[in-house]
Every structure is written in C-alpha cells, then in structure tokens.
Amino acid sequence: MITARRTGAALGAEIQGVDLSKDIDDATFRQILDLWHEHEVVFFRDQKLTPAQHVAFSRRFGELELHVRKDCCRPGYHELFVVSNIVEDGKPIGSQDAGLFWHSDLCYLKIPSRGSLFYALEVPHDDSGKPLGDTLFASATAAYDALPAATRQTIAGLKAVQSYKKGYYRDRNGGRRKPLTPEQEAKTPDVEHPIARTHPVTGKKCLFVNEGYTARIAGMPGPDGDALLNDLITHSTKPEFVYRHSWRAGDFLLWDNCLVQHLAIHDYKLPLRRHMERTTLTGTAPF
Ligand code: OGA
Ligand code: MN
C-alpha cells in the first residue's frame, strides 16, 4: 500500500511503501504521478538504486535531457548529471556549484525541463550528526496564489526574459566567471516565458520568475520593470512558500520545474563529501 505524508510546509510529501528498484506497476506509477502533481515535491526514503534503475524509473515519466556538460555526467550515463564536491584524480566528478541561486532547471531554454529526479548517494554531516547541504524548495503555486489581485492583473500576459548568461556570470562570491565562447553563447540565447505560467497537467498558475536566471520583464526596460521583477522575485521565495529538505543517503526526490523553484545550501566542504545524481525530464513549451 502506498501512502503519502505531507511535510507540513506549503509543499512536499514523503511517499511510503514503494521500492523503486522493483518493477512499478502502472496503477502505482499513476498514483506516484498524481501525488507528485498534488504535492509538487515528493520523496522516497531508503532507496537502493543502480544508475541504470535511476534512469529506467525516470524514463517512465518521458524523455530525458542529455546534459550539455558531459564532463559532469556519470561515465557511461549521459542522462545522469552528477552534483558533487568530490574530486577524483584531480578532477571533479560532477558539478560543484549547482543551485547556488534560486532557480528552476533549464528555465532559460525555449523548452524548460518538466521536472528533475534527484538521488542522494552521499550526504555530508556536521560533528553532531546533523545533515548539511540541504535543498530548499519554494512553491510557485503558493507564491502565485498569495499575490495581491492587482499584481496578478498586472502580470497577466506579461513575459520575462530568462537568461542563461545572467546565471552563469556569477560565481558563489558574486564575482564573474570566465566568459562564454561565442559558440556557447549562441547555444543559450535569452528566451521569454510567461510570468504567470500555467502547469501543463494541473492547470495551476505558477509564478515563473527566479533570482538565478530571470533578467528582466519583456517590453518593460527601465526602473518600473526592474522594480516589479524585483518585488516578484523577493515574493516568490518567502519562508511560508518554502520546504527545506534535509537529505539522507538513499533519498530519491522529484521536483517539478514549473510548480517549484529550488536552492542548494552550500554549508559544507571537503573532506565532507556530497554526491547526488539527477535525471532531467524534457518539458513542453510554457504557456
Ligand atoms: C540541481 C540542483 C540542488 C542541490 O541539481 O538541479 O539545483 O541541492 N541541485 O544540489
Ligand atoms: Mn537545479
């Protein structure tokens, strides 16, 4: 029997009674899908998955993205993006700075990702045994619903510019990174997406702006547009919309990239090791 336990925050639920390494029948899969859409983030504890099982379960949801940074993928698995601070033979095994700013995965693409499936292999802890490297999730539906009616009216029909470059050109100290090559820039042109985005399955309205990649409001250059965007971004991650996930090795967690934005807490460093792996679902054009 599969059951869901809400986290008590604005979003998130733990699903119990499922072993993801086993064959999941269609009815159970449907229940998982429905729970995910309802709770926006769902997670399963104590899972033991091989990389192939992680990919196979993810494929039940649809097509997967192959990450552009192949050097960050698990060798032999172009679908598995590694997020880790581990360095082996002088080479990082994955991305070391994922999630430094609030964002939603691939929001800067014309077709952003539908959702991500994240598996915790190694989790750092402090001396007292408290887990480090939590991830914060903010409900974009709760944020939208809490907007004043006048603001909802203002943003109806407006689009925002999502810019890979805005996110890229900041390191964790707020500094600038090595410039992208013209080829890399050409691959990630700025795109425009509705600010009040509709979830393709549930029809719920989501506030689709984030600190990481949203650069400006389309057609509103100047201080008015900047002030509006700033207000929306600040509003979108108010504590009352946030669930903070403390990881345990064996956690398998799904977030929806339309219903939710997320942020990684970088409060650990080597020799404390963190190793997570992510598959990324291909999405559909935002509306
Ligand atoms: C990601 C990401 C957050 C984290 O993999 O997309 O943002 O806590 N990760 O590692
Ligand atoms: Mn992310």
Ligand 1 contact via 123 beta carbon (within 6 Å): no
Q: Is the CB of 98 under 6 A from ligand 1?
A: yes
What CA–CA distance (Å, rounded) separates 209 from 201?
20
Would you say the CB of residue 263 lies under 6 angstroms from ligand 1? Answer: no
Return the residue whose CA atom lies nearest to atom 10 of ligand 1: 264
Contact 173, 106 (CB under 8 A): no
Pairing of strands 13-16, 41-44: parallel
Catalytic residue among 105, 193, 251, 256: 105
- Chain-centroid distance, C-alpha 256: 7
Distance in angstroms (rounded) separating the CA atoms of residues 100 and 211: 10
Nearest to 28 by CA among 18, 36, 37: 18
Phi, psi (rounded to 5 degrees) for 252: -125, 115
pLDDT of residue 81: 97
pLDDT confidence band for 183 (50 / 70 / 90): confident
Residues 192, 197, 200, 204: what is their CA dihedral angle, to the nearest 10 degrees?
Answer: 180
Strand segments (E) across the chain: 3-6, 13-16, 41-44, 73-74, 77-84, 87-88, 91-92, 115-122, 135-139, 159-162, 191-194, 196-198, 205-207, 214-217, 242-245, 252-256, 260-264, 275-281
Q: What is the mean pLDDT of residues 83-109?
A: 95
Q: Which ligand is the nearest neighbour of the Cα of 246?
A: 1
**Which atom of ligand 1 is least distant from the CA of 280?**
6
Given this model, what pLDDT does residue 134 score?
98
**Around Cβ 228, how many Cβ atoms within 10 Å?**
20
Expressed in angstroms and rounded, the spacing between residue 127 Cα and the centre of ligand 1 is: 24
Lowest mean pLDDT among 154-158, 175-179, 218-222, 281-285: 175-179
Q: What is the pLDDT of residues 198-215, one digit of tens each?
A: 999 999 999 999 999 999
Q: Rounded CA gap, 244 and 117, in Å?
A: 17
Q: What is the pLDDT of residue 174?
A: 57
Q: Distances in Å between the alpha carbon of 146 and those of 139, 235, 236, 247?
A: 11, 9, 9, 29
pLDDT for residue 24: 96
Share of the chain above pLDDT 70, in %: 98
The answer to whether residue 175 scores a pLDDT higher than 70 is no
Q: Is 262 a catalytic residue?
A: yes
**Ligand 1 atom closest to residue 99's alpha carbon, by position in its atom list:** 7
The alpha carbon of 50 and the centre of ligand 1 are apart by a number of angstroms equal to 20
Task: Report whether 158 contacts 273 (CB < 8 A).
Answer: no
Q: Is the CB of 105 under 6 A from ligand 1?
A: yes
Q: Closest ligand 1 atom, CA of 116? A: 6
pLDDT of 137: 98
Is the per-residue pLDDT at 229 higher than 60? yes
Residue 62 near residue 114, CB atoms below 8 Å: yes
Assess whether pLDDT exceeds 80 at residue 125. Answer: yes
Determine whether the shortest distance from the Cβ of 67 to ligand 1 is under 6 A.
no
**Dihedral angle at the C-alpha atoms of 50, 51, 53, 55, nearest 10 degrees?**
170
Q: Of the residues 84, 116, 242, 253, which should be mutated to test ligand 1's pocket, given the most ligand atoms within 8 Å of the CB?
A: 116
Nearest atom in ligand 1 to the alpha carbon of residue 135 is 8
What global pTM score does this model have?
Answer: 0.96
Which of the pair, 178 or 277, is modelled with greater confidence? Answer: 277
Please confirm, yes or no, whether 78 is among the known catalytic residues: no
Alpha helices in 90-222 (DSSP H): 140-145, 149-155, 164-168, 182-187
Residue 171's pLDDT band, with cuts at 50, 70 and 90, is low
pLDDT 10s digits, 186-195: 888 999 999 9
What's the confidence (pLDDT) of residue 166? Answer: 86
CB of 167 closer than 6 angstroms to any ligand 1 atom = no
pLDDT in tens, 21-69: 999 999 999 999 999 999 999 999 999 999 999 999 999 999 999 987 7
Q: Is residue 176 scored above 80 in pLDDT?
A: no
Known active-site residue 245: no
CA 37 to chain centre: 15
